[in-house]
Amino acid sequence: MKYLLFSIALIACANEPVSNTTTALAVETTNEPMESKSFYDLSAKTIDGADFSFSALKGKRVLIVNVASKCGYTPQYEELQQLHERFGGENFVILGFPANDFGFQEPGSEAQIKSFCSKNYGVSFQMMSKVKTNRSRGHEVYQWLCNKSLNGVDDAKVSWNFNKFLIDENGNWVAHYESRMDPMSAEITNFAAGKKLL
């Protein structure tokens, strides 16, 4: 009887539809490692679907942050907007990259994310299309940010929503801060103002 039940279980498992899981896994594991590029060789899509070349960021200090709408850190949008209003413009730019990588806390479409940011926080800094932040299989921007072999400075791991990366006006990787770092902290405001980091 035990052998019969075991055989039935094996047959049932063999008949499970696994194509979706297998396909998803294949997509995650077949990406080739990114070739070495400078920061200004990178590109991404804006939240409206337009092409955005990072060559447009030459001469500007940049804060890149992975954002989410349903996170305990989501209120940081308010301070990110304050930072943008105070320092944003010719010399300092914020790029917000929505990501659903942590706790599935950014499930919406680009249109839903844009609406949420506008209605709740009046966001006017540059929002980008949703990406993956994985250091080996994520968007090329995050591969560059997270791998010393690409950015030439340090390895980093995006640990949760609202991790922050600083890039100087020459396209050099400067710093990585975890989620708890306040957007209006002295470390970030000094960078935004062109002062030395603490």
**Catalytic residue list:** 71
Dihedral Cα 71, 144, 40, 127, nearest 10 deg = -10
Question: DSSP letters of 2-14?
Answer: HHHHHHHHHHHHH
Structural contact between residues 146 and 48, judged by C-beta atoms closer than 8 angstroms: no
| Residue 49 backbone zone (phi > 0: left; psi -120 to 50: alpha; other: beta) | left
Structural contact between residues 125 and 118, judged by C-beta atoms closer than 8 angstroms: no
